Every structure is written in C-alpha cells, then in structure tokens.
Structure 1
C-alpha cells in the first residue's frame, strides 16, 4: 500500500499554467516579514484595487494584524512558494472577516501581477466561500472598484451579484450562502 503525502487542513498544492507550484495555506505569523518585503513589488494599481486607496507600505502593525486572524471570526490564506512560512515568497493573500453582530462576512483578496490570471484568485475565493459556508453565514461580500474587471468577472462566475454602493466607482459583490 502506497503512503500518501497528506497536507494539513486548508493546505493545497497547486500548479500554475507556467509550471510554478504554489502552496495555498492558512496565513502564519512568520509570513509577516515576507508580506512586508513583497509589498514593494506590487504595482500601485494592485494596491489601490485591494485597499481602495493608495498605500505606500505594509506597516509592521498592518502585517501583524493580518498574520494573526481571530480564529472565531476571521480566516486568512496565502498563496506562497512551497517553502516554510517566513522563507516563502507570498504571491497572494485572501481574508474573510465576519461582520460583528451579523451572519455576514466581508472578503478581500490581493494577487500579485506576477501570478495574476492563472487561477490563484479563484482558488483563494473558493476557499473563502467554503470557510464562510462552514460558519453557516448568510452572505459573503466584498467591495470592488468598477475598473477591477478581473475581480468582477471572477465574482460573477462564482454566483456573486452586484449591488451599488454610496461610493462612486465602487461596486459591492454579494454571494448568498
């Protein structure tokens, strides 16, 4: 009988179209330094599409907060090189957070242009949806800039509907769970 290499829960090895292998896994505290280092490799437009405004750097405080999600109300994943946390370059980050006193959660995803368009965003989003369904939430939503067509197309393909917001240029995508 063959021995299988089993990965821990929420860990998946994927191969991109360019042959590169990535490990999708829960974020770890050791990811803070590579996240901060990799932030400088992002294009200003990538940062703006995720944060909805210009951010020059990922501060130590922001990295600390991102890498220490509250397991009761938050879940965060990275798409990284298959190396130990702290050593692996991170190419994508996805986070979902339950809105206090509701059965709704808000998501955010950032995928570097180096691996954009290769299905990483879809893989991350599917896992956020799965986590949200496991928490028996009513809906999952995110605010997306109107010009972020890749994210709007991805969300539509996964069954999200569009809602208008009070902020010009911003669209809310909502998935009823």
Structure 2
C-alpha cells in the first residue's frame, strides 16, 4: 500500500496491495447516504465486530451521527472511492472519540471484507493515533470482541496492550502515548551576551 500526492490535511490517495486506489479523507455529512446504502453489503460478523451487536441496517439517525462528528472531541476518517462525497462508496470508517476527562480517546475501525487484509486497518489506526498525539491525549483504547483476533493482532503489532474488557466477551486494547516534551523557553539575549 502506498500513499501519494499532496492534498488537503488528512486527505490522501492510497493504492492498496491489490492495485485499487482509495481516498482517505475526513468523513463528511454527504457520506450518510452512501453509508446507509452500503451497509447491507457488510457481512453480519463485520457489523457485530464494529458495533458489538448485530444490526440489519444503519438508521438515518445513526448515519447522521456518524457523519457529523463533534470536531472538538471526535475525529473520523473514511476510505472511499476517489469520487465526490455522496457518490463514493465507503469501504472503511475509522473514528476516535475523546473521553469526557480529555485524557484518552476510544477508537473504532470498520474495514469492509472487500478491501480487508490489504493494510488499510493499520494505516487508519496510525492516522487515529497521530490525531490523538496532536490532541496531547495520554492513551488510545478500544473495546474489541474476544473473537476478533485480527483486530487484536493489528493493535498488538502497533504496541497496544491487552487488558480485561468492561463487559464479558470484550477485551480492551490500550496504547499509552508518549507525554509531550515540555518546551524550553529561549534564553534571553541579554543573558547570553553578559
């Protein structure tokens, strides 16, 4: 998988291992229609692993909520066909939501089986972590089904550790982020000269 071209912040064209090109970009309100339309293409296990319970459809309200993140505490990316929002089929969604205490962010990633196994989940997770570091969060975590071994393996390969989940059947994958280094104020010129 390779990224190329200069684009607006958080936008990038990525060529997957199979040669297919996708556009990774922030989610937009126009994506709500295509998210709802593409939801039936997901396999039941994909839905359960992302939402932690079965769902037959994505309601209008859910789609609106997903595509209108609160930019003060949420960040969401999609991997979509390189077409305008509202026309492009979305193959993956990755999001992070900052906890109320402002110290940690909870991630969630869904990659469709059509483009699964091509490095996209890893790429999206790295983008979420980069955003979290920019927000100076202390950690990133996500609750994952015990049966979702691919997601656990992906997170572990990026130095997430496994903890007990808050509910039966879940594990929590946690990544502690490095603390930002304090900035050293410059030495006033008067002290250097004297």
Output the TM-score relative to the length of structure 1.
0.96
Q: Bigger relative contact order, structure 1 or 2, given CA contacts below 8 A and separation 6+?
A: 1
The CA deviation at 1:168 is 2.0
For 1:101-120, what per-residue CA distance to the aligned partner results, in whole angstroms no more than 9, with x for missing partners?
A: 23111010000000000011
The corresponding residue for 1:96 is: 96
User: What SS does structure 2 have at the residue aligned with 1:37?
Assistant: helix
Q: In the TM superposition, what whole-angstrom CA distance separates every residue of 1:152-176 from its partner, at most 9, and x where no partner exists? A: 1100000000000242221000000
Gaps of 5+ in 1: none
Deviation, 1:5, is 5.3
Which structure 1 residue ranges, 4+ long, deviate > 3 Å from structure 2? Answer: none
Deviation of the 1:6 alpha carbon:
2.6
Quote the offset at 1:149 in angstroms. 1.1
SS at match of 1:174: strand
Residue 107 of structure 2 corresponds to 107
d(CA) in 2 for partners of 1:153 and 1:57?
28
Matches for 1:1-177 after TM superposition, within 5 Å: 6-177=6-177
1:134-167 residue CA offsets vs partner (Å, 9 max, x unmatched): 0000100000011111101100000000000242
Q: Write the deviation string for residues 15-61 of structure 1: whole angstroms up to 9, x where unpaired.
A: 11111000100000100000001101000000000011111111010
Q: How much is the aligned-residue C-alpha RMSD, in angstroms?
A: 1.1
Three-state SS of the structure 2 residue aligned to 1:130 is helix
What is the alpha-carbon distance in structure 2 between the residues aligned to residue 5 and residue 153 of structure 1?
A: 30
Work out which of the two has the higher radius of gyration on C-alpha atoms and give 1 or 2: 2
Number of residue pairs the alignment of both structures matches: 174
Distance 2:31 2:155 in 1: 27
Alignment-derived partner of residue 186 in structure 2: none
Unaligned runs of 5+ in 2: 178-194
Q: Supply the distance in 1 between the matched residues of 2:110 and 2:66 (Cα, whole angstroms).
A: 13
